[in-house]
Amino acid sequence: MAKIDLNVDGKAHSIDADADMPLLYALRDDLGLKNPRFGCGLAQCGACTVLVDGVPTRSCVTPVDSLAGRKVTTLAGIQTGGKPHKVQQAFIDEQVPQCGYCLNGWVMTSVALLEKNPKPTDAQIREALTGLKCRCGTHVSMLRAIKRAAQA
C-alpha cells in the first residue's frame, strides 16, 4: 500500500492503495464516484472512460500510480456551474439515453473530440468513437447529439 495523490475534477485527493490498482477502483471505491462505470475490465467497451489531461483514457486498465501530477476529469467534472456540458445537453435534447450504462464513455470521448476539433466531420466523429460499445443501439442518436453539440 502507498499513499497516492490524485487530482480529480479539480480537487486534490489522497488515497492508500496498491500502486497498480486501476484508477476505476479508486474513483468508484475510494472517492465514491458513480461514473465512470465498470464494463469489461479490459479497456474494450469504454464505459470506464475518463479524461486524463484531456485525453480519453480507459480507467479500468490505468494504474493509479501513473497519474501523479496529471488531471483526471470524470463525467461530473465537465459540468459548469451545475449546468450540463454542451455534449451532455445535446445527448438530453436528442433523447439518446436508453439504459445509459455506456453513456459515460460516449460523452467523455465526445467532449475530448470537440475540444480538439470543434467542427468534426462525420468520418472524424466515427473515428474518434471507434471501440466504444452500446448494446442498446442508439448510435445514430449519439451521432446526431455530437453534431448538435458541435454547433452549440
Q: What is the pTM of this model?
A: 0.95
- The predicted-structure confidence for 62-94, as pLDDT tens digits, reads as follows 999 999 999 999 999 999 999 999 999 999 999
Residue ranges and CATH numbers for the domains of the chain are: 2-74 (3.10.20.30), 86-151 (1.10.150.120)
For residue 58, give the nearest of 131, 139, 118 by alpha carbon.
Answer: 131
Cβ(62)–Cβ(52) under 8 Å? Answer: yes
- The predicted-structure confidence for 28-68, as pLDDT tens digits, reads as follows 999 999 999 999 999 999 999 999 999 999 999 999 999 99
